[in-house]
């Protein structure tokens, strides 16, 4: 008796399986948010921007601007006067202000080509709800100033700050050198030979005060030091080409120059096996010492000659030289009275002990 009913039970189980698979698909239309072409919070809200201005979708910029000016004059809160039988949106001052804001919003939406393009796309594709939100707020929240202009102004400001900072450091270096007896005596002798100090004294003997005379003599000595001495390193005279703006402009040239130089280096010394010249040897020594070009240029000439004599561009020779320098530094510290006192203090008291000194 149970056999005739078995096919029905199999059919029922199959239906239940299909319903379990199809149920999520059936819920999608129910869970999907209903969309419309006009959405509250986007552009003109539930009103059509073209209808607000009273123009068609094919209207040009001139027609849109003319319609906006007419409606703006009509609904401006300061100029609005209700007319008898006026059934428009601005029947009261409050509604006139709302109408004026709506007209202004419609004009802002349609006067820009990109914004109008997005708005027309929203009217034609109302189903892309979240995409319309993204385009709308991405344009509203985007910076009004061009990013390129911001970057250019920032780079120029940094370059100006660099120039004046470097010039200040250079003037400080000159002022310090003017106090060093070695350079001051030499500059004074040159000024006397050229008759600059004599003229300053003669001219100032009757007309200038003593302080003004001293200031003028100081400026003469500083100018001579500027013209005679070659300052290298961080206190060198600022150059326009070293500023950030010019470094960015010259970056492609420097990159091409470096690539060309590197290819020549590989071809001449790695492939053809040429011997290093003096410039190449100094370059290898500087790289071994991990010094920048400005730091290496600030070294004395006799130091560079010592490097070349000891052939420090060879890695083994440089390792020996480095070890010698470390040993020499240790000897100096061992014989330094201040270092001895510091070690004695660390051994006896140290930074973590509290002692009471009875004087």
**pLDDT tens track for 290-325:** 888 877 877 888 888 998 998 999 999 999 999 998
**Looking at the chain, how many residues does it have?**
359
Give the chain's domain count.
4
Q: 129 and 169 in one domain?
A: no
95 half-sphere exposure, CB direction, 13 A CA radius = 9
Q: 152 and 181 in one domain?
A: yes
**39-72 tens-digit pLDDT:** 677 888 888 889 889 898 888 889 999 999 888 8
List the one residue out of 128, 96, 116, 95 whose CA is nearest residue 44: 116
Residue 37 belongs to a domain? no
Q: 126 and 107 in one domain?
A: yes
Identify the domain containing residue 94 by its residue range: 49-141
Q: 154 and 82 in one domain?
A: no
Residue 1 belongs to a domain? no
How large is the average pLDDT for residues 263-270? 90
The conformation of residue 34, written as its DSSP 8-state character, comes to P
Q: Phi, psi (5° rounding) for residue 60?
A: -85, 180
Domain-ending residue, one of 141, 168, 193: 141
Residues sharing a CB contact under 8 Å with residue 248, sequence separation 6 or more, in sequence order:
155
CATH at 118: 1.10.287.110
**110-136 tens-digit pLDDT:** 888 888 888 888 888 887 777 877 777
Residue 316: CB atoms within 10 A of its CB come to: 9
Q: 185 and 172 in one domain?
A: yes
Residue 13 belongs to a domain? no
Residue 17 belongs to a domain? no
Supply the pTM of this predicted model: 0.46
User: What is the DSSP code string of 316-356?
Assistant: HHHHHHHHHHHHHHHHHHHH-HHHHHHHHHHHHT-TT----
- CA–CA distance, 222 with 197 (Å, rounded to integer): 12
């Amino acid at each position: 008796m149970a056999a005739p009913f078995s096919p029905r039970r199999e059919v029922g189980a199959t239906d239940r399986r299909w319903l379990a698979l199809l149920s999520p698909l059936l819920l999608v239309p129910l869970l999907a948010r209903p969309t419309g072409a006009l959405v509250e919070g986007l552009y003109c809200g539930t009103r059509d921007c073209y209808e607000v201005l009273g123009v068609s979708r094919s209207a040009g910029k001139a027609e849109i601007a003319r319609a906006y000016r007419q409606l703006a004059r009509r609904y401006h809160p300061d100029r609005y006067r209700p007319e008898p039988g006026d059934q428009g949106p601005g029947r009261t001052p409050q509604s006139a202000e709302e109408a004026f804001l709506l007209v202004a919003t419609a004009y802002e939406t349609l006067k820009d080509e990109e914004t109008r393009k997005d708005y027309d796309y929203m009217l034609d594709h109302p189903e892309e709800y979240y995409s319309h939100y993204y385009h709308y707020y991405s344009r509203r929240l985007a910076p009004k100033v061009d990013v390129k202009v911001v970057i250019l102004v920032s780079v120029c400001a940094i370059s100006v700050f660099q120039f004046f900072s470097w010039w200040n450091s250079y003037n400080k270096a000159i002022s310090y050198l003017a106090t060093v007896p070695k350079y001051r005596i030499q500059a004074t002798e040159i000024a006397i030979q050229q008759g600059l100090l004599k003229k300053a004294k003669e001219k100032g003997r009757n007309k200038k005060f003593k302080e003004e005379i001293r200031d003028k003599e100081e400026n003469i000595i500083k100018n001579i030091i500027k013209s005679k001495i070659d300052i290298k390193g961080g206190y060198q005279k600022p150059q326009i080409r070293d500023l950030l703006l010019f470094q960015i402009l010259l970056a492609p040239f420097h990159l091409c120059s470096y690539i060309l130089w590197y290819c020549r280096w590989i071809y001449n010394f790695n492939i053809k096996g040429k011997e290093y010249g003096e410039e190449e040897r100094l370059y290898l020594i500087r790289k071994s010492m991990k010094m920048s070009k400005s730091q290496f240029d600030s070294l004395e000439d006799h130091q560079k000659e010592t490097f070349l004599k000891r052939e420090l561009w060879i890695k083994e020779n440089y390792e020996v030289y480095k070890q010698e320098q470390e040993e020499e530094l240790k000897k100096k510290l061992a014989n330094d009275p201040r270092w001895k006192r510091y070690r004695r203090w660390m051994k006896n008291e140290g930074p973590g002990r509290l002692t009471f000194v009875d004087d």
